Structure 1
Amino acid sequence: MNIKLFKGLVLGGMIAASAPAFAADYVIDTKGAHANINLRVNHLGYSFVTGRFEDFNGTFSYDAENPNASSVKVEIDPASIDTNHAERDKHIKSADFLDVSNHPSVTFVSTAYTTNGDGTGVLAGDLTLRGVTKPVEIQVRQIGEGEDPWGGYRAGFHGTAELKLKDFGIEYNLGPAAEVVYLDLNVEGIRQ
């Protein structure tokens, strides 16, 4: 073998081996209904009212070799809330709660991800709701990743979070049992 060719192959292999892996970009699969944002609020201490946002979109970057470099951005249409009760939904959209006429968008932008090394971690970020931006933490668990039957590549995660209504200027008194909204997030993204 030519010595120059051999040196070139060795050098090329060393550069390739030392090159950092880069995070892949994903679009959250809302069109295929493979993602959802669910919520629940305690009702009088007896049960829970549940609901979901029907209209949202977002992206995330993820690298299994360096999960701490992950990032997420999501935008939600708060007027798309559905608790399976039209009158309650109308009240939730009012100025007492989401105030959708003055605040037509809810956003979450991540600021950091800290892995636990076992497929779980904490996603920190800024949530803007009703024009108020507060830091929140989402407990994340990776569900899986791989090729799909249509020639694409997907990654999926589950997350949970708790939001205090008063932190976002929602003062409507539902009683002490209903001061926290529990979020249940299922996110499946398609690699771009």
Structure 2
Amino acid sequence: MKIVKTAFAVAALSALSTAATAADYVVDTKNAHASINFRIKHLGFSWLAGRFDKFTGTFSYDDKNPDASKVKIEIDTASVDTNHAERDKHLRAADLLDTDKFPTATFESTSVKSSGPEKATVSGKLTLHGVTKDIVIETQRVGGGKDPWGGYRDGFTGTTTLKLADFGISRDLGPFSKEVELTLDIEGIKQ
């Protein structure tokens, strides 16, 4: 019994020390060192690309225990930008993003599973257009280290594909435009 209690105490202390080593980061959107981009097929002939210009986020990361990582992102949906004012106005309209009714989209991780050297599958809940769905983002660490200003940064890239209908966006954009590819390039400043 004494051995079991000792083993439990060691495991508990180990878990606490692992949790204590995870660092908290703020996504560096202030200096445009992060981006959320998307692309969707246009009539099956080409890709239409765009981005969200305004978003915020935080994450925690420990390179010795990446599966304990967490991430949270909030997007200002009205900041959608495809470099075409009329199209952006239409994307904000009620039959697509409906940004007046749904001004933010959020993602919050529920689990992180390492899938290779500096690669992970991040699962979480995305709320978009008033609908919350479980999604998976395949991620890779780009790098981390000291920056020229005396701080420490870590950066990641991740991709996922979303079905528009899953989020209640039912506007028919044609047979080739039912899914949108989303890429997140995130650089965080250690707090």
3-state SS of 2:30 partner? coil
Matched residue, 1:20: 17
Measured after TM superposition, the shift of residue 102 of structure 1 is 0.5
Please state how far the C-alpha of 1:91 moved relative to its aligned partner: 0.6
**Residue 48 of structure 1 pairs with residue 47 of structure 2:** yes
* Distance in 1 (alpha carbons) for counterparts of 2:109 and 2:158: 13
Structure 2 counterpart of 1:157, one-letter code = F
TM-score (normalizing by structure 1):
0.90
| Identity %, equivalent residues | 56
CA drift at 1:176: 1.4
> Which structure has the larger Rg?
1
What whole-Å deviation, never above 9, does each CA across 1:82-111 have from its counterpart, x for those lacking one?
000111001100111110010111000100
Question: How many angstroms apart in 1 are the aligned matches of 2:84 and 2:27?
Answer: 27
- Aligned residues: CA RMSD: 1.4
User: In 1, Cα distance between the equivalents of 2:169 and 2:102?
Assistant: 13
What is the aligned partner in structure 1 of residue 5 from structure 2? Answer: none
Stretches of 4+ moved more than 6 A in 1? none
Partner Cα distance (2:94, 2:24) in 1:
36
5 Å-filtered alignment, 1:106-145, equals 106-145=105-144
Alignment TM-score, normalising by the size of structure 2: 0.90
Matches within 5 A, 1:24-43: 24-43=23-42
Amino acid in structure 2 at the alignment position of 1:92: L
Q: How many residues align?
A: 177
1:83 matched residue in structure 2: 82
User: SS of 1:20's equivalent?
Assistant: helix
Q: CA deviation at 1:20?
A: 2.0
Q: Runs of 5+ in structure 2 lacking a partner?
A: 1-12
Whole-angstrom CA distance in 1 between matches of 2:145 and 2:176: 41
